Amino acid sequence: MESLATVVARAADALPAWRRLPAPRRAETLIRVGELLRDRKSTLAEIITAEIGKPPAEAGGEVQEAIDMAYYMAGEGRRSFGQTVPSELPDKWAMSIREPVGVVAAITAWNFPIAVPSWKILPALVLGNTVVWKPSERAERCAAAFAQVFTEAGVPPGVLTIVTGDGRVGETLVRQPAVSLVSFTGSRENGRHVAIACAELGKRCALELGGKNAVIVLDDADLELAVDGIVWSAFGTSGQRCTSCSRVIVHKGIRAALTEALVERVKSLEIDQGAADRCEKFIREAVAAGARRLTSGATLLDNVTPRMRIAQEELFGPVCVIIEVGSLAEAIAVNNDVPYGLSSSIYTRDVNQAFAAMRELSSGIVYINAGTTGSEVQLPFGGVRGSGNGWREAGQAALDTFSEWKTIYVDYSGRLQRAQIDR
């Protein structure tokens, strides 16, 4: 087996030719990636289901997201705009362009073994970077099938390479001298470790670290719509999404009706028992502190206060707590008073309250009358506080993550011009 240093060295060797290939040509390769993903959507979905247990419909949706990302980022091959601006001096041209960062280390989690890597690999490649990808050891079959698509699409050797293994492999990859950028998806604890290592080594790192997401339900909300959104957001994928809803912040005027409707829906759900079992210690602790367990398996807890540990920490499982509030202002304060800030949602028919929430909710993503789940590839994805470190995935923002700005001046005056000194 090749050493990690050898793999990274190959990525560094492949960088000059790939970055010099015109961006529209790199984009043509991404188009082929999208076409192959489209043709193999059902096969890839079956691999996801077999390896990590994701339901077939959700697995197919994940592959579709990678298809969408391939086509979207292919467009950036002709659309990665810089700027041309007026110079303050005569006979002088001023502009900026994007340049690749270099060798990118992509480290991804198991729960979205194709979609999340696509958010990193595709923008990195179209911008001219090379990528060494360390997938989760729980999803290596998915990773191999996904990487094979890039090879068949014509991505040259060394431009995208997989390395496998546990967290120790990821740590070694982070510390490789030739790696310029680390793009990491995982837990807040591991993300902090990555950030410290990158700071010590002078590397850029982009972190996506999860959330403690909430759905706010005001007393004028469409109750049936809110229940649909909460159930899907909290218990879809057994609550094992970084955007999963784990808190329902409900106005006291609608609490009883909402709770009754949620219990009726949730008690019939079939959930991954292993994911549920891993949350039991948090549930028992909350019950001991005064919470009331309304369902098992897919677990609803009532009488939860905002500062309980179960209302503060990411559980990554099928557990959702109900917190009562008396006003929109109180709901927003409860929503914001957690270590994370990835996704927030509010159900209301009052446009004024919706716009107030859009302004005041402290999270990277806000949904109005929809649950805390789902993303579209043309907009930035990521969070604030413990949910990330400011860099975003998807959309135009991903281009900033995976590129450097170069500012260029062309002075055709034929004389020395000294800017502000000559003024």
pLDDT at 97: 97
What kind of fold does domain 213-368 have according to CATH?
Aldehyde Dehydrogenase; Chain A, domain 2 (3.40.309)
pLDDT in tens, 188-236: 999 999 999 999 999 999 999 999 999 999 999 999 999 999 999 999 9
Please give, one letter per residue, the 3-state secondary structure of the chain. CCCHHHHHHHHHHHHHHHHHCCHHHHHHHHHHHHHHHHHCHHHHHHHHHHHHCCCHHHHHHHHHHHHHHHHHHHHCCCCCCCEEEECCCCCEEEEEEEEECCEEEEECCCCCCCHHHHHHHHHHHHCCCEEEEECCHHHHHHHHHHHHHHHHHCCCCCCEEECCCCHHHHHHHHCCCCEEEEEEECCHHHHHHHHHHHHHHCCEEEEECCCCEEEEECCCCCHHHHHHHHHHHHHHHHHCCCCCEEEEEEECCCHHHHHHHHHHHHCCCCCCHHHHHCCHHHHHHHHHCCCEECCCCCEEEECCCCCCHHHCCCCCCCEEEEEEECCHHHHHHHHHCCCEECEEEEECCCHHHHHHHHHHCCCCEEEECCCCCCCCCCCCECCEECCECCCCECCCHHHHHCEEEEEEEEECCCCCCCHHHHC
Tell whether the model's pLDDT for residue 271 goes beyond 90: no
pLDDT at 273: 84
pTM score over 0.75: yes
Q: Find, among 2, 11, 1, the residue nearest to 161 by Cα.
A: 11
- Which segments of 127-246 does DSSP mark as H helices, in order? 140-153, 167-174, 188-201, 223-235
Tell whether the model's pLDDT for residue 2 goes beyond 90: no
pLDDT at 276: 87
pLDDT at 275: 85
Candidates 3.90.1150.200, 3.40.605.10, 3.40.50.150, 3.40.50.300; CATH matching 4-209+388-409: 3.40.605.10
pLDDT in tens, 363-395: 999 999 999 987 899 999 999 999 999 999 999
3-class state of residue 236 by DSSP: helix
With a pLDDT cut of 70, the percent of the chain lying above it is: 100
What is the rounded average pLDDT of the residues 309-313?
Answer: 97
With a pLDDT cut of 90, the percent of the chain lying above it is: 95
Q: How far, in Å, CA of 256 to CA of 249, rounded?
A: 13
Q: Quick one: pLDDT band at residue 55, thresholds 50, 70, 90? A: very high
Domain boundaries, the chain: 4-209+388-409, 213-368
| Contacts of residue 156, Cβ cutoff 8 Å, sequence gap at least 6 | 14, 17, 18
Q: Is 208 a catalytic residue?
A: yes
Handedness of CA 259, 263, 269, 273 (dihedral sign): positive
Which residue among the candidates 142, 198, 205, 242 is catalytic per the annotation? 242
What rounded mean pLDDT belongs to the chain? Answer: 96
Which residue among the candidates 62, 65, 208, 314 is catalytic per the annotation? 208
pLDDT at 422: 79
